[in-house]
């Protein structure tokens, strides 16, 4: 049996450990040396500032459509998530939008507004909406990129619309920067954060402690107590293309690669195949070439290659720097538009027409996440 003094001692010790942990974490994130009490107060103040500055940019997105069942009865599909304004004209960025909805609306500051779908990027499963009649007062998120400057362990703050609740903050740590999940290669770099997202929270904006936009909550992995965040540079590229044309055209090289152990106990990215009639096949690249750089950017892993293709523009010419034997070559490749792919049918939830509110639990398990088009871009 534990005596009362021991219980108080353990609780005090745990509190001291928590204070010490967040003190070190905060110092690491902001680069300042403060007392533990200063850290607690200033951390709270920064989160409050992020909320005060950006909560009017966050919206709840709902989309619905009616479907005919085998028994000739109709049911209505409803899917909901978070989103946020990304322009003063009322454009909204969100993810996981219901396919072919017949009605889209947003909830903002206890008011309802109809929205129209400007375009969808199937590769990253992002949609750009535009509100029909703008609210009188709202803010929008500036999609400036700070992702590459973030260190592992940095604090991230998301503003989400969970279930039917009001907008609120949640925070987590930047755990890693990933180019793949299992055998699945992401179309671009993803940030894995310890943001515990629930139903309706995917699609929320993520900020650093200085209030700068980091990315969009893209997919939740509840089994791992983690979430994937699509970085700001990718969000900006997708938003700009969708506003301009309603479509996103990605670059494509048309090569397959493998990894090969080198003399430095590292790995080289080696061309394994050239797809027929692809840009690579039309160039002087050869199977067996070791890719060192593309347009001056180092290629150290296969994810670097996918990331380069993601930000390349069709019809542009890029320079491949490759090793072939003991010689280095600079080979120009004219980028082409990435071929379309057939994504797997998104998971949806049937609800009764008379039901008041129902949501789709977008991230019910890690297994379901593996079926998301994001995780199977090929």
271-314 residue pLDDT tens: 999 999 999 999 999 999 999 999 999 998 888 998 999 999 99
Q: What is the torsional sign of CA 341, 128, 182, 299?
A: positive
- Topology given in CATH for the domain delimited by 251-337: Pdz3 Domain (2.30.42)
What DSSP designation does 56 have?
G
Name, in order, each residue with C-beta under 8 angstroms of 136's C-beta and a sequence gap of 6 or more: none
Kindly state the tokens that stand for 122.
């199937």
Range(s) for CATH 2.30.42.10 in the chain?
251-337
Residue 332, pLDDT score: 96
Task: Give the predicted TM-score (pTM) of the model.
Answer: 0.77
Q: What angle separates helix 302-311 from helix 232-245, to the nearest 10 degrees?
A: 30
DSSP conformational letter for 246: S
State yes or no: pLDDT of 265 exceeds 90.
no
The percentage of the chain sitting over the pLDDT mark of 70, rounded to a whole number, equals: 78
Q: Which of 205-214, 215-224, 346-355 is most confident?
A: 205-214
Q: pLDDT per residue over 52-105, tens digit each?
A: 999 999 999 999 998 888 888 888 888 999 999 999 999 999 998 888 898 999
- How wide is the angle at C-alpha 205 spanned by C-alphas 308 and 244, nearest 5°? 55
- DSSP, residue by residue, 266-306: SEEEEEEEE-TTSHHHHTT--TTPEEEEETTEE--SHHHHH
129, 91 in Cβ contact below 8 A? yes
Locus of tokens 């989103």:
83
Return the minimum-mean-pLDDT range out of 3-7, 94-98, 177-181, 239-243.
Answer: 3-7
Give CA–CA dist 337/333, Å, rounded.
13
Distances (CA, A) of 219 to 132, 210, 303, 371, 375: 28, 24, 19, 11, 10
Q: Are strands 255-261 and 251-252 parallel, antiparallel or unpaired?
A: unpaired
Tokens 């998120």 appear where?
Answer: 141
Task: Say whether 16 sits in a helix, a strand or coil.
Answer: helix
Quickly state the pLDDT bin for 353 (edges 50, 70, 90). very low
Structure tokens at 221: 């992995």
Give the separation between CA 299 and CA 21, rounded to whole angstroms: 36
Res 242: pLDDT: 94
- The tokens of 320 are what? 């491949």
Q: Where in the chain is the domain with CATH 2.40.10.120?
A: 37-248+345-378
pLDDT at site 27: 53
Helix (H) or strand (E) holding 310, with range, is helix 302-311
Task: Find the distance separating the first CA and the last CA of the chain, reported in whole Å.
Answer: 59
| Average confidence (pLDDT) over 338-356 | 42
pLDDT at res. 73: 85
Please tell us whether the domain made up of 37-248+345-378 is placed in CATH 3.30.1360.120. no
User: Within 10 Å of residue 6's Cβ, how many Cβ atoms?
Assistant: 10
pLDDT band at 144 (very low <50, low <70, confident <90, very high): confident
Q: Answer with the residue of higher pLDDT: 17 or 113.
A: 113
Confidence of residue 150 (pLDDT cuts 50, 70, 90): confident
Strand partners, 155: 173
Q: What is the pLDDT of residue 29?
A: 52
Question: Which residues lie below 8 Å from residue 7, measured CB to CB, with a gap of 6+?
Answer: none
């Amino acid at each position: 049996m534990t005596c009362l003094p021991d219980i108080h001692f353990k609780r005090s010790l745990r509190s001291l450990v928590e204070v010490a942990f967040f003190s070190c974490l905060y110092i690491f994130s902001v680069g300042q040396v403060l007392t533990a009490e200063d850290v607690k107060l200033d951390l709270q103040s920064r989160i409050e500032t992020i909320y005060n500055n950006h909560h009017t940019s966050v919206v709840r997105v709902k989309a619905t459509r009616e479907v005919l069942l085998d028994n000739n009865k109709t049911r209505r599909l409803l899917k909901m998530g978070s989103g946020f304004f990304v322009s003063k004209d009322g454009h909204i960025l969100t993810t996981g939008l219901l396919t072919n909805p017949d009605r889209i609306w947003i909830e903002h500051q206890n008011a309802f507004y109809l929205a129209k779908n400007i375009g969808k990027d199937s590769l990253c499963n992002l949609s750009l909406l535009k509100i029909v009649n703008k609210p009188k007062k709202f803010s929008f998120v500036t999609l400036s990129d700070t992702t590459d400057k973030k260190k592992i362990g940095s604090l991230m703050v998301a503003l989400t619309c969970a279930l039917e609740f009001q907008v609120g903050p949640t925070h987590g740590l930047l755990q890693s920067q990933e180019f793949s999940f299992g055998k699945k290669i992401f179309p671009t770099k993803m940030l894995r954060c310890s943001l515990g997202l629930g139903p309706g929270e995917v699609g929320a904006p993520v900020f650093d402690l200085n209030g700068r936009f980091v990315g969009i909550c893209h997919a939740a992995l509840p089994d791992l107590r983690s979430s994937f965040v699509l970085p700001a540079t990718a969000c900006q590229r997708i938003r700009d293309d969708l506003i301009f044309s309603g479509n996103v055209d990605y670059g494509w090289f048309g090569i397959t690669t493998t990894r090969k152990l080198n003399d430095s106990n590292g790995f080289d990215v080696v061309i394994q195949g050239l797809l027929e009639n692809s840009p690579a096949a039309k160039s002087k690249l050869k199977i067996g070439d070791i890719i060192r750089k593309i347009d001056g950017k180092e290629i150290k892993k296969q994810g670097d290659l996918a990331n380069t293709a993601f930000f390349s523009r069709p019809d542009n010419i890029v320079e491949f720097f490759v090793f072939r034997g003991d010689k280095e070559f600079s080979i120009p490749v004219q980028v082409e538009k990435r071929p379309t792919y057939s994504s797997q049918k998104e998971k949806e939830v049937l609800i009764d027409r008379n039901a008041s509110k129902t949501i789709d639990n977008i991230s019910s398990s890690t297994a379901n996440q593996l079926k998301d088009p994001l995780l199977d871009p090929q």
